[in-house]
Amino acid sequence: MSRTIMLIPIGAGVGVTSVSLGMVRAMERQGVAVNFFKPIAQPRSGDTGPERSTATLRNGSSINPPEPFAMKYAENLISSGNKSELLENIVERFQKITKDSDVIIVEGLVPTDKHQFANEINYSIAKALGAEMVFVTHPSNDSSQQLKERMEIAVSSFGGKKNKRIVGCIINKVGAPIDETDSNSPDMNEMFDIPLAGTQTNLEVLQMFSKSPLPILGCIPWSAELIAPRVQDLAIHLEAKVLNKGDIEHRRLHSVTFCARTIPNMVQHFKAGSMLVTSGDRSDVIIAACLAVMNGMKIGCLLLTGDYPPEEEVMKLCHRAMESGLPILLIKSNTWQTAQRLQNFNMEIPVNDVERIEKVQEYIAGHIDKHWLNTLTEDSSLTRRLSPPAFRYHLTELARKANQRIVLPEGEEPRTIQAALICAQRGIAKPVLLGNPDEIHRIATQQGIVLTDDVEIINPNDVLENYVAPMVELRKAKGLTEVVAREQLQDPVVLGTMMLAENEVAGLVSGAVHTTANTIRPAMQLIKTAPGANIISSIFFMLLPDQVLVYGDCAINPDPTAEQLADIAIQSADSAIAFGIDPKVAMISYSTGNSGAGSDVEKVREATKIAQDRRPDLLIDGPLQYDAAVMENVAKSKAPDSKVAGQATVFIFPDLNTGNTTYKAVQRSADLISIGPMLQGVRKPVNDLSRGALVDDIVYTIALTAIQATQAQEKELEVKQIAEKA
C-alpha cells in the first residue's frame, strides 16, 4: 500500500518546491519507488514555460510526474460550484501514478492574495487523496512563540489537533537574511543597501522543538550556496548583450560589486564568483579585472553598463582573460537602473539548472528526519532498486563510518582541493593533500574557498627522505638504489603510494592530471595484490537514471585469459555486494548461449564455467549478448532459462577494447555519471580518476576508496585470525 504525503505551504516564500525536491531525493536515497504530483499549476508572474515544480522534478530525478491541471481550469470549476468535478479529475490523474510507487509526494498550492482559496482546496485535495499532511513554513521575522502561533492557526484550518492525518511540519530557510519588508534578501554583497531587520537565529528556531504543536520533521538551514545563479540567468534577466560568452552557462555568481571607486579601493572586492558592475567606458576597471583573472582569480563575470562597448584595443588586452572563460556582458541601462533591475531578479531555481537542482535536493534531503522517512515504507511490499541517489547516499554514509585517511597526490589541482574540503566538511574522509602549502592555499583562494584544519597538507619536500629506505627495501629484488628511489619519490603519486605502503594512509586517489598508468604502476610495484587475488582489475559504477550497474574490466587488462576473466567476474560480483548492489553477473560476448562459435566466444564460455564452479553462490551466466543481458523481452527469446538474462547488474566484458568502448559509449550517449575506475585485487585501495573528472566525481571516488580501505582491513584481519587458528 503506497503512502501519500502532501506538502502544504503556510504562506508565500516558504520554498515548498525546494522541499518537494528534497523529499523526493530523500526517498530515492532509501531506494524507495517515489513519485511526485502537483495537482494544480500555480505559475508565477512572468512564467511562460512549463509548470515549475513538475518540470524541475523531471530534470532533477528519474521520475516523470504527470502534468498538473491549469489554474484557469481549476478556477473556472471552483467559481461555477463544480469543485467536486475538479477533485474527481485530480484523483483520476493521481491514481495513474500510484501503481508502482511506495510514496507519492503531493505539492499543495501557495496561499497568495490572488489565490486566497488555496488552503481550502489543499485540504479538499488532501482528503480526496487520503494524504498525510506536512506543513512547510519558514521563520521569517517571527519569534519562536509567533511561529508556534502561526502553526496553530494552520492546524485549526485543516481539521484541528484531532486530525490524525496532520503528521508534522518542516521549517525551511532557517537563518535566512530578512529585509525590513519581511522578504528574503539574496546574499549578494553590495547589491542592496538594505539593513537586515532581523535575521532568525538557529537558537531561536530550536526553541520551537519544545513549543511546536506539531512534530518537526525537518529543520533546514538557509544556504547562500543554493541561491547562486548562473551568469546566463542574470544575462537573460537583464536582457544583456554577450560580448564574450566564456563559461556563461556554468559560472555562478555569489556576490555583486558596483565598481564606482578608484582601482586601489576596488581590488579587494575582486573575488571568485563576483559579478563586477561598471560603466563600459571604465577601461581601468575592465583591465584590472582581466589582470586578476589572468592571475587565477575566477571572477564571475563583467557587466558593463551604459551601452558603452569597450574599445577594441582594450578588448585585445583582455583576450587571454576572455579565453580563460570570463563572461563579459553589456547592457543599455545605467548603474542605478541596473541596481533596481537586480532587485527584481527571481532567485528561484530555473527548471534547466540541473546542477543547482541537484545541490538543493541533496542539501534538503540531508535535513529531513531519517526516522520519519523510515516509517513511510515500513509496510511496503514493493521491490526496491538501488537508484543513483541511493547509491551515492549509501557511499557517503559508509565512508563516514569508515573515517579513513586518504592521500591525494595531486594536491595543487583545483578540483582536488575543492573535493578535499567537501570530504572533510561532510566527514567522508580525512583528506591529505600533497603539495606546496602556500600554493595550495593560493589556488583555494582563487576558487573562492577557505581550507580548514580538517584538510591536512603535507609538503613532499619535507617528508621525502622518510620513504627512501623503505622503498629500497620493498624493491630490493629489482635492484633499486637510494639514488633512483629518491628520484622516483619526486613524483607525488609514488610518494603517496609509499605513504600507503607504510600504513600512514588508508588509500590513494589520483588521475585528475596523471594518466591511469602513472596512478596504477606504483601500486603494482609497491602495494602488490591482495591475499588470494591472482589479478588486478577494475570496475566502473554506471549510474543509470533508475539503477546502478557495474562494468568490468574497462581500464586494466587488455586481453585476459579465461582464468583471469573468471577472476574479474568474481571480484566484480564481490565489489557489487560490498556496495549494496545485488550481483547478477553477465559474461558479455557477441554470441548468446550456444548460438556462436570461435575462440573469443569459447573464452567467455570457459570463463563462465570456471567462475560458476568457483563461486556457486553467485548468479553468473554467459556468454550473453548485451541486449540479452539487459532487456527482458530479448532475454525471453535468446536465453529463456537464464536467471541473469534481462536483469543483469554486473557486466563482464571479454577484453579491454570491448569494455572501454562500451562504457564510454553508454556514458556519453546516455549522458550519465560513471564512478571509477575502482581497482580490485590490490592489497590496499588505489583508485584512478578520469582527467575530465568533476569535483563530485573525485568526492565519490574518495568515498569508494575509504570504504574499500575498511573492507581490506577487515579482510586482512580475517586472514590473520584464520592463520593463527591454523
Q: Which residues contact 482 (CB under 8 A, 6 or more apart)?
A: 468, 469, 472
DSSP state of 502: T
pLDDT at 205: 55
User: 442 with 570, same domain?
Assistant: no
Q: Which residues contact 151 (CB under 8 A, 6 or more apart)?
A: 10, 135, 137, 169, 212, 213, 214
User: 54 with 139, same domain?
Assistant: yes
The tally of domains found in the chain comes to: 4
CATH number of the domain within which 457 lies: 3.40.50.10950
User: 273 with 412, same domain?
Assistant: no
Query: For residue 186, which phi and psi values (nearest 5 degrees)?
Result: -65, 150
DSSP state of 173: E
Domain boundary among the residues 644, 659, 681 is at 681
User: 249 with 316, same domain?
Assistant: yes
Domain assignment present for residue 686? The answer is: no
User: 353 with 331, same domain?
Assistant: no
Domain assignment present for residue 397? The answer is: no
Domain assignment present for residue 382? The answer is: no
Domain assignment present for residue 89? The answer is: yes
pLDDT at 363: 92
pTM: 0.68
CATH number of the domain within which 645 lies: 3.40.50.10750
- All 3 cell numbers of residue 9? 505551504
Cα(403)–Cα(423) distance, integer angstroms: 10
CATH number of the domain within which 66 lies: 3.40.50.300
User: 514 with 548, same domain?
Assistant: no
Structural contact between residues 443 and 412, judged by C-beta atoms closer than 8 angstroms: yes
CATH number of the domain within which 323 lies: 3.40.1390.20
User: 254 with 339, same domain?
Assistant: yes
Domain assignment present for residue 589? The answer is: yes
- All 3 cell numbers of residue 373? 522517512
Query: For residue 255, which phi and psi values (nearest 5 degrees)?
Result: -160, 165
Expressed as residue numbers, the domain containing 443 is 404-423+433-528+691-726
User: 207 with 256, same domain?
Assistant: no
User: 85 with 203, same domain?
Assistant: yes
Would you tell me the crossing angle of helices 414-426 and 437-446 to the nearest 10 degrees? 90
Please, what are the averages of pLDDT over each run of 10 residues along the chain (726 residues)?
87 90 88 89 76 85 87 91 85 80 91 87 88 89 78 87 88 76 44 37 54 82 88 93 92 89 85 91 92 90 92 90 93 88 84 88 91 75 57 83 94 94 93 95 89 93 95 91 94 96 95 88 88 87 85 91 95 90 93 80 94 95 92 90 93 95 88 83 89 85 92 79 74
pLDDT at 186: 44
pLDDT at 161: 81
pLDDT at 374: 84
Domain assignment present for residue 399? The answer is: no
Cα(535)–Cα(571) distance, integer angstroms: 9
Domain assignment present for residue 493? The answer is: yes
DSSP state of 530: P
Torsion of CA 567, 572, 577, 578, to 10 degrees: 100
pLDDT at 200: 43
User: 707 with 598, same domain?
Assistant: no
Domain boundary among the residues 343, 361, 390 is at 343
Structural contact between residues 130 and 32, judged by C-beta atoms closer than 8 angstroms: no
User: 705 with 671, same domain?
Assistant: no
- All 3 cell numbers of residue 346? 527571481
H or E stretch including 658? helix 656-669
Structural contact between residues 492 and 434, judged by C-beta atoms closer than 8 angstroms: yes
Structural contact between residues 589 and 571, judged by C-beta atoms closer than 8 angstroms: no
β pairing state of 132-137 and 166-174: parallel
Domain boundary among the residues 293, 322, 343 is at 343
> ∠ at Cα 23 (17, 26), nearest 5°?
145
Domain assignment present for residue 560? The answer is: yes
User: 46 with 183, same domain?
Assistant: yes
